[in-house]
Amino acid sequence: MIAAARKSGETGTTAPSQKAASRRHAGNKTKTSPDIHRPFDESLLAGMTGRLVETAILEKIGETLGMALIEPFINMIGKSSGIPFTVRYTGIETGHLAALMDKPAANAAFCIADTTPWYSHSIAAIDGSLIIGFVERLLGGDSDIVPDTSGRALSAIEYDVSSVLFESFIKAFSSLVLEPADIKTKLAKPRGKSDLGERDLPADDYAVALVWAIAFGQNTASLRLIVPQNILRRSALKTQEDKDKAPKTRPEWASGLSSQLSHSSVTLKASIALEPITLGHLRRLKVGDILPFDDEEGLNVLLQANEKNLFWCDFGRSGEDFCVRVREPHGLKKDLISEILR
């Protein structure tokens, strides 16, 4: 009995200790270590890679381009339609592309423009009310006041006519950021937002919208240009001084003439200086006399064409033939063909 009790007691005293240790061990297993693999902050990464730009920088560039666009845009619309418009720059909107695409009116028309080398997927958007009023004016409508049409989708004809506005706008904007020779814009057919597929749009990244208020009569609506923020960040207004410094494009006839001249035959003349002689020696010269080259500093040969000095050359032999080797230009500062023909 005593032995049995002792055995039972030993069992009773050790079991709680084992259970506590087991609980402590289990508790240690359930503790979690700090999460050191949290996702990198998206906006911080975008800022580091240049995709997210400070708002103040975007506002400054946007205002410069936005104000500069007004005059050329009005002029282009006037030439295309004969309708007097007023345009006012109102500022920028920033955010992800998808959010900015929701800003225009529900019946706005969108146009994807290729303005390479500036950017290949510029998105222009014009509120539908302006397009409806524009079409009515073109069809001879007398009133400038257009009723609220925000709930009506644009017709196929209205989408087609809106291309006049988009083309004028994109050409005017391209003239601000591109050299005249680089302006080669391509515009997709204007469509509603619901008709734009994923393949039509760039990735949903940080974007900026430049916004203008465009109006004629009492009809006012918004015009937007949406591009990635890093595209606007590296944009610069091309001033008239920049355009004047740009190389002028040669006329087609001039290029053709230059090509023909490149294949024309030219007679070259090589002149070698002789040793100086006196006038008396010159008077005594007769057929058969031999005159030596002036070779104190080597045989300098002056190569000419059409009595124009072209190159200094070295005189020598190649096999059994005497020849000259071109050494350096004779002070030419212009195109070779232009110098010969001058």
Is there a domain that residue 10 lies in? Answer: no
Is 96 within the bounds of a domain?
A: yes
Q: State mean pLDDT over 164-168.
A: 93
Mean pLDDT of the chain: 78
Give a yes or no: residue 200 inside a domain. yes
**How many separate domains does the chain show?**
2
Domain that holds residue 73: 46-243
For residue 125, what are the β-bridge partners? 110, 224
The reported pTM is 0.59
Q: Please give the average per-residue pLDDT across 137-156, as a whole number.
A: 71
The predicted-structure confidence for 179-225, as pLDDT tens digits, reads as follows: 877 778 899 999 999 998 877 888 888 999 999 999 877 778 999 99
Percent of the chain with pLDDT over 90: 32
Q: Indicate the pLDDT class of residue 142, thresholds 50, 70 and 90.
A: low
Whole-number Å distance between alpha carbons of 127 and 282: 92
Strands across the sheet containing 119-126: 86-96, 206-216, 219-228, 119-126, 109-115, 186-187
The last residue of one of the domains, among 211, 243, 275, is 243
319: CATH: 2.30.330.10
Q: In the predicted model, is pLDDT for residue 295 greater than 70? A: no
Phi-psi map region of 111: left, alpha, beta (phi>0 left; psi -120 to 50 alpha): beta
pLDDT score of 3: 45
CATH of the domain at 115: 3.40.1550.10
Per-residue pLDDT for 289 more than 60?
Answer: yes
